[in-house]
Amino acid sequence: MEPHEPPWVVVPSDEDLKFDILQEAHDASSSGHLGREKTFLSVSQAFWWTHMYK
């Protein structure tokens, strides 16, 4: 890991888990109801998985 990269949580190939992460970020009361781009940006600050943005 490079010093300038955040320490991501790597999510396994578990579609239910990915859905839960996205749902939580999308509906988080602290951030309002986010659209696709903002949800991706929010999730990508802490998580990573293969083919994350599709």
pLDDT, position 21? 94
- For residues 39 and 26, the answer to whether their CB atoms sit within 8 Å is yes
The span from the CA of 39 to the CA of 47, in Å, is 12
Amino acid symbol at 2: E
Helix (H, G, I), strand (E, B) or coil at 48: strand
Q: What is the pLDDT of residues 13-33, one digit of tens each?
A: 999 999 999 988 888 756 566
- Token pair of 10 as six digits: 């790597």
Tallying the residues shown for the chain, one arrives at 54
Mean pLDDT of 32-49: 85
